[in-house]
């Protein structure tokens, strides 16, 4: 009984702690729903997109390509490249869960995204005990908020078309800047962030958004691998 109550307490703790992070994504979800409708998707299609994919950046990229009339393998390739960072998220969390059954890890991986990883990494770095219950609670709330926001945006998308006029197109960028700000804990983190930003700008100038993500990610990986600083 004590184990069950402890697990439930951790589940509730995860739900509570993810709220500030997940709430920041409400505008992102609404904007995604709006953009999906503008790209020609119906309400059901937009909602299923978030329910099944659950990866904000790749969803935005895919909708951008669809709006340009691009379908098929370019969407699969670009979203796969954008989501390559998920492999790094898994590699970062995996050693903390040695001995955990694969099916449980697969469930956690299915809800692992930028928001939940940010919370989970911060929780573990602060000395929190690796807990699937805690992560499940956080993931449930994040998943519900993202999909409810997508539905709201898609529902009103037909009537609300000028997202840029209200600055809503910047919401997704602002969310990631918030994640970055709370994780700049050492001078090395600042150096990595600055070098990654510079590399991403060069990548964007040479090959667009996808190239910026790839170049920026590789820069951070290389700096982390070769440096003794942390």
Contacts of 223 (CB under 8 A, 6+ apart): 191, 192, 195, 196
The pLDDT of residue 4 is 61
Judge if 23 and 8 occupy the same domain: yes
- pLDDT recorded at residue 16: 93
Residues 33 and 93 reside in one and the same domain: yes
- One domain for residues 167 and 192: no
Residue 69 has a pLDDT of 78
Does position 1 have pLDDT exceeding 60, yes or no?
Answer: no
Q: Are residues 124 and 220 in the same domain?
A: no
Domain assignment of residue 121, given as a range: 2-181
User: Which of 156, 181, 206 finishes a domain?
Assistant: 181
Does 188 lie in the same domain as 217?
yes
Same domain, 35 and 139: yes
| Mean pLDDT over the full length of the chain | 82
Alpha-carbon gap, residue 192 to 99, rounded angstroms: 32
126 by DSSP, 3-state: which?
coil
Tell me the mean pLDDT in the region 114-125.
Answer: 86
- Stretch 190-204: mean pLDDT, rounded? 90
Residue 126 Cα distances to 73, 93, 181, 193, angstroms: 41, 14, 17, 21
Banded pLDDT at 215 (limits 50, 70, 90): confident
Give me the numbers of helices (H) and strands (E) for the chain, helices first please.
11, 0
- Mark whether 113 and 23 lie in a shared domain: yes
- Closest C-alpha to 33, from 147, 154, 164: 154
Give me 153's structure tokens. 């945006």
Let me know whether 52 and 163 are in one domain: yes
Total of domains in the chain? 2
Which tens digit of pLDDT belongs to each residue from 132-175? 899 999 999 999 999 999 999 998 876 665 656 666 656 656 66
Q: pLDDT digits over 2-43, tens only?
A: 566 778 899 999 999 999 888 878 888 888 888 888 888 889
Q: Do 14 and 30 fall within a single domain?
A: yes
Sign, Cα dihedral of 176, 177, 179, 184: positive
Same domain, 203 and 129: no
What DSSP string runs through 12-31?
HHHHHHHHHHHHTTHHHHHH
Residues of the chain with pLDDT > 70: what percent? 86
Task: Give the residue from 140, 157, 181 where a domain finishes.
Answer: 181
Statement: residue 95 has pLDDT above 70: yes
Helix (H) or strand (E) holding 202, with range, is helix 187-226
Q: Any idea what DSSP says for residue 186?
A: S
Task: Determine contact, residues 38/67, Cβ cutoff 8 Å.
Answer: yes
pLDDT at residue 163 in the model: 59
**Rounded Cα gap, residues 73 and 62, in angstroms:** 11
**Alpha-carbon span 24 to 65, nearest angstrom:** 25
Nearest to 70 by CA among 81, 58, 57, 61: 61
pLDDT in tens, 61-86: 788 778 777 777 777 877 777 787 78
Calculate helix-pair angle for 114-125, 2-23, nearest 10 degrees.
120
Are residue 134 and residue 212 in the same domain, yes or no? no
Tell me the range of 54-58, 138-142, 162-166, 188-192 where mean pLDDT is highest.
Answer: 138-142
pLDDT tens-digit profile of 97-119?
Answer: 888 888 888 888 888 888 888 88
pLDDT, average across residues 193-214:
84
Whether this prediction's pTM lies above 0.85 is answered by no
* Whether 154 and 188 share a structural domain: no
CA dihedral in degrees (212, 213, 214, 218; nearest 10)?
A: 100
pLDDT of residue 74: 72
């Amino acid at each position: 009984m004590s184990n069950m109550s402890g697990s439930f307490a951790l589940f509730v703790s995860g739900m509570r702690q993810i709220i500030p992070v997940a709430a920041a994504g409400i505008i992102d979800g609404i904007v995604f729903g709006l953009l999906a409708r503008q790209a020609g998707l119906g309400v059901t299609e937009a909602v299923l997109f978030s329910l099944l994919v659950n990866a904000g950046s790749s969803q935005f990229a895919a909708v951008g390509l669809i709006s340009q009339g691009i379908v098929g393998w370019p969407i699969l390739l670009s979203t796969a490249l954008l989501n390559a960072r998920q492999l790094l998220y898994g590699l970062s969390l995996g050693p903390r869960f040695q001995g955990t059954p694969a099916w449980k890890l697969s469930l956690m991986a299915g809800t692992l995204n930028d928001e939940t990883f940010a919370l989970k990494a911060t929780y573990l770095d602060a000395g929190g005990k690796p807990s699937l219950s805690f992560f499940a609670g956080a993931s449930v709330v994040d998943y519900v908020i993202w999909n409810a926001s997508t539905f709201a945006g898609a529902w009103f998308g037909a009537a609300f078309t000028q997202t840029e006029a209200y600055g809503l197109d910047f919401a997704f960028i602002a969310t990631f800047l918030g994640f970055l700000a709370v994780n700049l804990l050492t001078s090395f983190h600042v150096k990595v962030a600055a070098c990654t930003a510079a590399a991403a700008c060069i990548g964007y100038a040479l090959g667009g958004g996808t190239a910026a993500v790839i170049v920026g990610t590789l820069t951070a990986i290389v700096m982390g691998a070769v440096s003794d600083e942390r």
